Amino acid sequence: MKQRSEYFKKILTNEYQRRLQQTGKYSFRAFAHSLEIDPSSLHDIMKGERKVGEKVIRKLGEKIGMTLAEVEELLAKK
């Protein structure tokens, strides 16, 4: 589970950085809004302070454009 959470945290961070570089003006709040999640919850996930369950990984994975196969591969990690 820890490996999965760490890996997903990196995926979210990379996606945020990608969007920030694309626009030059992209706030963390806008990122959270695009993922339909509270900014404080997203912050806690990305800092490793909140556990990331299967349901959240599926929801956020879809929002950032992960394929079903990528999500399933991530969920298979322990």
> What local confidence, expressed as pLDDT, does residue 5 receive?
87
Q: What is the pLDDT of residues 18-31, one digit of tens each?
A: 999 998 888 999 99
**End-to-end Cα distance, the chain:** 4
Q: How many domains does the chain have?
A: 1
> What local confidence, expressed as pLDDT, does residue 1 receive?
60
CATH code of residue 26? 1.10.260.40
What share of the chain in percent tops pLDDT 90?
A: 77
Q: What is the pLDDT of residues 39-69, one digit of tens each?
A: 999 999 999 898 889 999 999 999 999 999 9
- Sequence-distant (6+) residues with CB within 8 A of 50 are 41, 44
Using DSSP, state whether 39 is helix, strand or coil. Answer: helix
What is the residue range of 35's domain?
A: 2-76
